[in-house]
Amino acid sequence: MAERQPQQVVVHPSQVKGQPGGLTATQILAVVTLLPVGGTLLALAGLTLAGSVIGLLVTTPLFIIFSPVLVPATIVVGLAVTAFLASGMFGLTGLSSLSWVLSCIRQKAPQQLEQAKRRMHEAAATAQHRG
């Protein structure tokens, strides 16, 4: 015959303390504390939404009336900002290019100076030898 396995009984912590299926004091305190906070935040969210809708209702006709002025103004401001940023980038590119050229010249200058000195000495030596 098959042996019977003992059954595991799962006991909720609140049942151990003698409170069958009830809420603990911490759970009640959490609900009592968070309910007003949550309600207040929900009310503020509703007021913000209502204010946004009212502001949109007021400004939409203004945007429609002034759109012949606002759209070109927005385009001009966008192009001006783009041009300003582009000029800054061109300036940085120019400065970095000059810096790179100077560093190349500084690295090659001592070698070229030595070659020039050597050629001058050779030219002086050949001039003395001929003369």
What letter does residue 69 receive in the DSSP assignment? H
Give the per-residue pLDDT at 125: 86
What would the DSSP string read from start to end of 112-129? Answer: HHHHHHHHHHHHHHHHHH
Res 33: pLDDT: 87
Residue 91's pLDDT is 95
Alpha carbon 23 to chain centroid distance? 45
- pLDDT given at position 113: 76
d(CA 22, CA 14): 7
The per-residue pLDDT for 20 is: 58
Predicted pLDDT at 107: 80
The whole-angstrom separation of Cα 96 and Cα 88 is 12
Cβ–Cβ under 8 Å, residues 21 and 12:
yes
How far CA 113 is from CA of 87, 99, 127, in Å, comes to: 38, 21, 21
Contact 14, 24 (CB under 8 A): yes
Listed in sequence order, the DSSP H helices in the chain are 13-16, 25-130
- Rounded-to-integer distance, Cα 82 and Cα 67, Å: 22
Stretches in the chain below the pLDDT threshold 70:
1-6, 9-21, 131
